[in-house]
Chains A and B, each alone.
Chain A
Amino acid sequence: NAGVMQNPRHLVRRRGQEARLRCSPMKGHSHVYWYRQLPEEGLKFMVYLQKENIIDESGMPKERFSAEFPKEGPSILRIQQVVRGDSAAYFCASSPVLAAGNTIYFGEGSWLTVV
């Protein structure tokens, strides 16, 4: 499958636990974006990364959320001490170069449920 791969597809966490969401971009893509989609709301930008660099994290909550895209391996979105309000679908997208003017392609998403 040459598309954007996300795992896990579904994740259940108790309040206070940590959630780790993984994203492998399309082959040949070096730019990764994370978006969050709350029920009945649109997709909200969280963070934009290149390999080993965070380019724009203006959409990330100031606490508990972090993202990385190491030289080797997938990009990871980490949510510490999850709360009920973190329950949402988290989508990863990738592009070969900077987003400006170029299409980004989405994965199937990771659905986080906090109980």
Chain B
Amino acid sequence: EDQVTQSPEALRLQEGESSSLNCSYTVSGLRGLFWYRQDPGKGPEFLFTLYSAGEEKEKERLKATLTKKESFLHITAPKPEDSATYLCAVILPTGNQFYFGTGTSLTVIP
């Protein structure tokens, strides 16, 4: 069964304390892996798309990487404004659906 699992469920970091969020998937024939950020009461905001193992994307303090089984979202020297829920999604083989994990809730403490 296609599945996306994100860990940890919640993460508290001190400002400046770097860490990584994990997204493991079991979808066969991956057609794309996506990272989104969601703030409370808001819609998901697109961050990155990764298509093949070994690919990396960066944006400010965030860096996303992809292997054949999982993706990592690395957060370097986070700031309180990075606090949000980070969602990972994959495209199912039909191409019609994005399948989302349940997210990692990140809190960065000043």
Contact = CB atoms under 8 A, between A and B. Distances in A.
Nearest to A57: B96
A103 B100 contact: no
A91 B46 CA distance: 14
Interface of B: 31-32, 34, 36, 41-46, 49, 51, 87, 89, 91, 94-103
Interface of A: 4, 6, 33, 35, 41-45, 48, 55-56, 58-59, 91, 93, 98-109, 111
Nearest to B34: A103
A106 B96 contact: no
B99 A45 contact: yes
B102 A91 contact: no
B95 A42 contact: no
Contacts of A44: 100
Contacts of A99: 91, 95-98
A75 to B, nearest CB: 15
Contact of B97 (A48, A107, A108): A48
B62 to A, nearest CB: 16
